[in-house]
Amino acid sequence: MTTSTGPAAGVHLPWAAVPAAVRSWANRVGGGGAPATARDLPGGFSPGATAVLDCPRGAIFVKAVGAGLNPESPELHRREAVVSASLPASPQFPRLLDVYDDGDWVALAFVAIDGRPPVHPWDLRELRIAVRGLHELHEALTPNPVAGVEPAAEKLQSLFGGWAELEAMVQPPAGLDEWSGRNLSRLAELESEWPGALAGSTLLHCDVRSDNLLVTGAGVVFVDWPHACVGAPVFDLVAWAPSVELEGGPAPEELLALWASGSAIDRDAVAPLVAAFGGFLVRHSLRPPPPGLPTLRAFQAAQGAVALAWLRRLKGW
């Protein structure tokens, strides 16, 4: 889970630089022969290649990564392939065409979506469309239609618990803000409630952010599904909210109020999710950057600051 938006954090690889075997596979998927054009799409948090290829059978979107760029990324592509192949056939979802996997390099090919990233600073009308699209997505994915996807409490167990980890340290790491340092016990206690707050039967995207959605003539399409898990829909809003504010959009409370279920949101139920997600962001921001993702930690820190400000408003500490 990167759960971060902002400047490109990955070391982007041009499509021309991926192995010849991967490019030959993509040519076959596209109908044979080299594409007329290959348009690289830098951005986001993958250290691999992402591109749109103008192929004989039509445009396809391809993404490819090898273990040498980041050892975890090929497995994320594999998981995205499994989830994407099982999503309902609908304009709401990306349509997977084929998968390449030689044990090192993994590549996915999708039908190219005729869309664009959202405008920044966020346009309120466009944000409303995106929030409505997310609500409709949740309705289509309740109950979860994809077999084998873990409950959120299982999927996120290794990521959440940041405040408890910091509290257990003899000396908290340099860079931890003063408010968090004073409230580590309360933060850890509140954070511990997240599994119950996240329980639900909806397939969640679990990594909603601007570079994972495309605005189309019909609404929005949410792409990149490697982190999907099953839980309460509100978590997709909670995890999205800090990046929206950083991109010039409204504060988290206002984003949740745009949601179709906003009037029914319980502040006490949301607080453990904000605490758990904020703890994830803060704890990870204090670690060294992972291979191929040199700016990820700085942006996690920026999102963590938004989450902490939101939590302080929720709890009044």
Locus of tokens 């499994």? 82
Judge if 146 and 242 occupy the same domain: yes
Domain end, chosen from 60, 90, 111, is at: 111
| H/E element, 283 | helix 267-285
Instruction: Using a pLDDT cut of 90, give the percent of the chain over it.
Output: 83
Would you mind telling me the total number of residues written for the chain in this entry? Answer: 317
Whole-number pLDDT of residue 264? 60
Amino acid identity for residue 226 in this structure: P
254 vs 241: CA distance, rounded Å? 9
- Look at residue 8 and tell me if it is in a domain: no
Query: Residue 11 — pLDDT band, cuts 50, 70, 90?
Result: low
- Which residues, 6 or more positions from 22, have their beta carbon under 8 angstroms from its beta carbon? 64, 100, 105, 107
Judge if 104 and 141 occupy the same domain: no
Task: Copy the structure tokens of residue 173.
Answer: 């790491």
Judge if 196 and 221 occupy the same domain: yes
pLDDT tens string 261-287: 555 678 888 999 999 999 999 999 999
Judge if 96 and 200 occupy the same domain: no
Average pLDDT, stretch 27-33? 93
Domain membership of residue 76 as a residue range: 15-111
Judge if 67 and 200 occupy the same domain: no
Whole-number pLDDT of residue 70? 87
Judge if 281 and 183 occupy the same domain: yes
Number of domains observed in the structure of the chain: 2
CATH number where 44 lies:
3.30.200.20
Judge if 102 and 43 occupy the same domain: yes
Whole-number pLDDT of residue 260? 62
Judge if 134 and 268 occupy the same domain: yes
Judge if 234 and 291 occupy the same domain: yes
- Look at residue 7 and tell me if it is in a domain: no
